[in-house]
Structure 1
Amino acid sequence: MTDPDGGTAPVSTRVMNLATLLTQSARRDPDGVALVMGETRWTWAAFEARTDALAAALQQRFGLQKGDRVMCQSQNCLEMMQAMFAVWRAGGVWVPANFRQTPEEVIYLTQSSGARFLLCNAAFPDHAAACAAACPDLAVTLSFGASDFAPSVQAVTDQFMGRRPQVAAVDRDDPCWFFFTSGTTGRPKASVLTHGQMAFVVTNHLADLMPGLTPDDASLVVAPLSHGAGVHQLTQVARGVKTVLLPGERFDVATVWALVAQWRVSTMFTVPTILKLLVEHPSTAGADLRSLRYVIYAGAPMYRVDQQAALRVLGPVLVQYFGLGECTGNITVLPARLHQAEDGPHVRIGTCGHPRTGIEIQIQDDQGRDLPPGQTGEICVIGPAVFAGYYRNPEANAKAFRNGWFRTGDLGHLDEAGFLYITGRQSDMYISGGSNVYPREIEEKILTHPAISEVAVLGMPDPLWGEVGWAVCVPRAPVTEADLVAHLEGRLSRYKMPRRFVLWEALPKSAYGKITKKMIREELEARGLIESPPCPHA
């Protein structure tokens, strides 16, 4: 865009406030069902009115100013969806915590984000008390549900029904969401997501992941709204798709399938470990899956054997995307038409897809040079989905960006057609006898053994080789270390062969259902299998 004087400076960077997506859907279909949880139903008109009321209360009663950060500690609930849009409408920044975190962890998130407001579910009085005591900048606390520690969002909403807020005017680069990283290699960092960036992400999700959504569709939420599932639901609101929340905190596969049948659910967002549970559960065999159109999985690579099982059970509905919180998942897509249950000469086994619309990927070496197809390096990206940087963390920003490219910290390669193959995290790679070893390749091979359900391979210190691999496995049937060694003979080079196999009943997982190497190392240490401190590759 050129300015009136013929220059190149933009005349305006004003963009739509994200909360306007809700207003638009409410105008188009005011009486349609917007939100469902248990026996409770909100129409689009009710959702809009309640959001307006809360936004007005935040501005007029509690003094929320544009740019104020609002911390949210809650499991999924209807009021959490209401609050997210109300905060944006009032001009605030949404700062959701993983609800399974401890009070001390939420204190850190509150302090590091500079939050002035806390929205805390009534189920977490200890979190509210801890934050109130440790965070002097915290000016306002509200609760989801009746509590002894704060006025409830429901009561405040009722008091302000019918009042209109001043919808905050926002620019493209105004923050709307602090998306905390998972903190697998240290304390979580707040990725700053902006109104303009998120508008692109919503558009891209609808184009690349879920094309053709209409108000006849329904979306089932099976993951915490604080992270990827929240972004996914924002896209549903944009198209007037009804959102169905599980009736309680407990994840129950039979309940999932009952809701799919009742509401004719067409879209779901999940992670590979949860998708694996859905596929393997006994209730799945008798479930009515005919309404499913898009079962979207992300957050971690899905092993080929699990992918094949899901395709055979659910049908051709899988959609994979790869990304990080810093790009809100917006790096690659593997659409349903490119998922194949059977191996063949035209099947790209192991790919996480091609670049999303508007995204460019480079595989770079340690000096930032572009590597040719087939060579492994760091996955780097540019595009409108890339975040604005980490909040008040110049050191992390300096490490995360190089020549304008965002460095994901993931390793992989591109093929000649531009499809991406992830080798693993830089922090997961280990060096054995001078050779780089990428655990994902070994994990894929181990999972082809019929007795193994889950596996994680880690590099451990070794006086002779520098590092060697340990394979922590979850068997579904009796199996021995000798069985696994024999299975891998001829499938792996000798230097890649794990030197030790550990059999556990389950692998530790994060609150989002991800298998993290950091947690596995901590468990190995807790069981006395390795010495403290852990290997620096944690």
Structure 2
Amino acid sequence: MSDPKGGVAPVSTRVMNLATLLTQSARRDPEGIALVMGEARWTWADFEARTDALAAALQQRYGVQKGDRVMCQSQNCLEMLQAMFAVWRVGAVWVPANFRQTPEEVVYLTRSSGASLMLCNAAFPDHAAASAEHCDGLQLLSFGAADFGPSVEDLTATHAGQKPQVAAVNRDDPCWFFFTSGTTGRPKASVLTHGQMAFVVTNHLADLMPGLTSADASLVVAPLSHGAGVHQLTQIARGVKTVLLPTDRFDVPTAWALVKEWRVSTMFTVPTILKLLVEHPSTAGADTSSLRYVIYAGAPMYRVDQQKALQVLGPVLVQYFGLGECTGNITVLPNDLHVMDDGPLARIGTCGHARTGIEIQIQDDAGQEVAPGQTGEICVIGPAVFAGYYDNPEANAKAFRDGWFRTGDLGHMDEAGFLYITGRQSDMFISGGSNVYPREIEEKILTHPAISEVAVLGMPDPLWGEVGWAVCVPAPGAAVTEAELTAHLEGKLARYKMPKRVVLWEALPKSAYGKITKKMIRDELTARGLAGEPA
């Protein structure tokens, strides 16, 4: 079929329902272990049958239809993965919340997404009560026994052996509302689709974890509501065992014990958690020989931390850069490009090259591509880019320009196409008329052996407009003074980039996903009464 302009209109936009990935793995290895948590073990046949039963219950008892939104408020558990696939199976949209958010925050997500049903862990009765009060007609189900609604476990048992009507889906049908962190305002729901996610799963397997098979095993150390959920989707596609930590508390010795017991080969995490894994005393005696891919994302990893991780874990690190709006799918730095020595083969500071099927441009304020080495906004196009923000035309207008998705991150590319992130546009500050990018300063500060973590941010100054403050965390047992740090930086930075104040804290505030965010640090400086002090 042709269109008037000479192109070819698609005869069909029908695609595979994402829940079919589970069905395919269950057919290939029904008796193999699919999910592990504590003493619980689900085979692939168990996982598939439970998903069918819950999907049938959602259709028959709760009237969930294609396009309906289903909110989920829960820490990691086996039922959360079951529910995710059941929601997709009936054509509904998965809307997971960060389980550490307050009841009021979850009410906002539930209302703004238009969710008609909420799956809530029994550990969060206040979240269920608040959502029921403020969201008209909201139906409630629980993970575990709870007063606020029937349990998923009971529904699964009641509908055992039943099969739902699997929804037919098109490429652009939504499957997941992936909420942004909301660091610069209210969270926004990024609409991820069945066709987009099929590309992301394929690309993750090709670019991040080539050669993955059902002989592999994956340990979940981050919330399934965001990046870890996408990562586990790729594991399920290949019939890989998924091992969950027994509680929602991250414990390094427990993690290493599970790596040894299940011969874990893949792990998805963020740099701060990877740093904890590398530096914990228990790591010295851990059996890490089964690890093949330790994938980190969510924030750049400083070079000194990268080198420590390579030294401790070996050549297993894989980095990717991406946002929820692109489902992490912008760049990759594979394990063979993670090098220990700062020699000619090391592209220090890069987050890798463009993922297969993705194009990156560094653009100026007018949307024009800049030359290699010049700083601008990182913009992307490709099948991993989301369909837009749900019910938010204003945000969509700001996020897209001439078809390019504007990430809001600043960076530059070298001649070979390797990307270097300078920081968020909101992190850059102007001191005495000169642009200052905190990442460069943070890298230099971390070369001091007494510093474990650091965040540099611009603070108001009556003379220079803004000046840099360095909020530092000393390494365990180490002591350092502001004068020593300043002396360490002499000759390593231009004068206008030198921090005008150094603040020493025991720890930096982190988001629920383990990220260091400048907004939280600013809030903490204000809470401690420091924000108004002169540098």
Shorter-chain TM-score bucket reads: over 0.9
Q: Is the 8 A contact 2:271 2:300 kept in 1?
A: yes
Identify the residue that residue 170 of structure 1 maps to in structure 2.
Answer: 169
Gaps of 5+ in 1: 533-538
Identify the residue that residue 536 of structure 1 maps to in structure 2.
Answer: none
Give the partner amino acid of 1:435.
Answer: S
Identify the residue that residue 284 of structure 2 maps to in structure 1.
Answer: 285
Matched, 1:113 2:113: yes
Give the partner amino acid of 2:233.
Answer: L
Identify the residue that residue 319 of structure 2 maps to in structure 1.
Answer: 320
Q: Is the 8 A contact 1:120 1:141 kept in 2?
A: yes
Give the partner amino acid of 1:92.
Answer: A
Give the partner amino acid of 1:287.
Answer: A
Q: Is the 8 A contact 2:64 2:92 kept in 1?
A: yes
In structure 2, distance between residues paired with 1:439 and 1:250: 31
Q: Is the 8 A contact 1:2 1:11 kept in 2?
A: no
Q: Give the Å deviation of 1:2.
A: 5.2
Aligned pair count? 531
In structure 2, the residue corresponding to 1:276 is in which secondary structure?
Answer: helix
Q: Is the 8 A contact 1:67 1:92 kept in 2?
A: yes
Identify the residue that residue 190 of structure 1 maps to in structure 2.
Answer: 189
Identify the residue that residue 128 of structure 2 maps to in structure 1.
Answer: 128
Any idea what the Cα deviations from partners look like across 1:169-195, whole Å, max 9, x if unmatched? 000000000000011111110000000
Identify the residue that residue 309 of structure 2 maps to in structure 1.
Answer: 310
In structure 1, the residue corresponding to 2:57 is in which secondary structure?
Answer: helix
In structure 2, distance between residues paired with 1:303 and 1:498: 18
Q: Is the 8 A contact 1:115 1:137 kept in 2?
A: no
In structure 1, distance between residues paired with 2:153 and 2:532: 50
> After superposition, where does 1:26-65 map in structure 2 within 5 Å?
26-65=26-65
Moved more, 523-532 or 244-253: 523-532
Give the partner amino acid of 2:480.
Answer: V
Task: State the 4+ residue runs in structure 1 displaced beyond 4 angstroms.
Answer: none
In structure 2, distance between residues paired with 1:156 and 1:281: 42
> After superposition, where does 1:63-82 map in structure 2 within 5 Å?
63-82=63-82
Any idea what the Cα deviations from partners look like across 1:297-349, whole Å, max 9, x if unmatched? 00000000000000000000000000000001000000000001111022111
In structure 2, the residue corresponding to 1:141 is in which secondary structure?
Answer: strand
In structure 2, distance between residues paired with 1:218 and 1:135: 40
In structure 2, distance between residues paired with 1:297 and 1:347: 18
Identify the residue that residue 535 of structure 1 maps to in structure 2.
Answer: none
Identify the residue that residue 428 of structure 1 maps to in structure 2.
Answer: 427
Q: Is the 8 A contact 1:382 1:404 kept in 2?
A: yes
Matched, 1:504 2:508: no
Identify the residue that residue 529 of structure 1 maps to in structure 2.
Answer: 530
Give the partner amino acid of 1:50.
Answer: R
> After superposition, where does 1:126-275 map in structure 2 within 5 Å?
126-138=126-138, 140-275=139-274
Give the partner amino acid of 1:22.
Answer: L
Q: 1:7 to 1:520 in 2, by over 3 A?
A: closer
Gaps of 5+ in 2: none
Identify the residue that residue 488 of structure 1 maps to in structure 2.
Answer: 489
Give the partner amino acid of 1:512.
Answer: Y
In structure 1, distance between residues paired with 2:344 and 2:263: 36
In structure 2, distance between residues paired with 1:142 and 1:81: 15
In structure 2, distance between residues paired with 1:43 and 1:344: 47
Give the partner amino acid of 1:275.
Answer: L
Normalising by the residue count of structure 2, what TM-score does the alignment of the two structures yield?
A: 0.98
Percentage of identical aligned residues: 85
Normalising by the residue count of structure 1, what TM-score does the alignment of the two structures yield?
A: 0.98
Identify the residue that residue 408 of structure 1 maps to in structure 2.
Answer: 407
Matched, 1:21 2:21: yes
Q: Is the 8 A contact 2:339 2:345 kept in 1?
A: no
In structure 2, the residue corresponding to 1:387 is in which secondary structure?
Answer: coil
In structure 2, distance between residues paired with 1:200 and 1:277: 32
Give the partner amino acid of 1:219.
Answer: S
In structure 1, distance between residues paired with 2:470 and 2:112: 36
Q: Give the Å deviation of 1:160.
A: 0.3
In structure 2, distance between residues paired with 1:301 and 1:68: 36
In structure 1, the residue corresponding to 2:525 is in which secondary structure?
Answer: helix
In structure 2, distance between residues paired with 1:319 and 1:137: 45
> After superposition, where does 1:344-493 map in structure 2 within 5 Å?
344-476=343-475, 477-493=478-494
Any idea what the Cα deviations from partners look like across 1:229-267, whole Å, max 9, x if unmatched? 000000000000000000011111000000000000000
In structure 2, distance between residues paired with 1:191 and 1:291: 35
Identify the residue that residue 343 of structure 1 maps to in structure 2.
Answer: 342
In structure 2, distance between residues paired with 1:484 and 1:74: 43
Q: Is the 8 A contact 1:114 1:137 kept in 2?
A: no
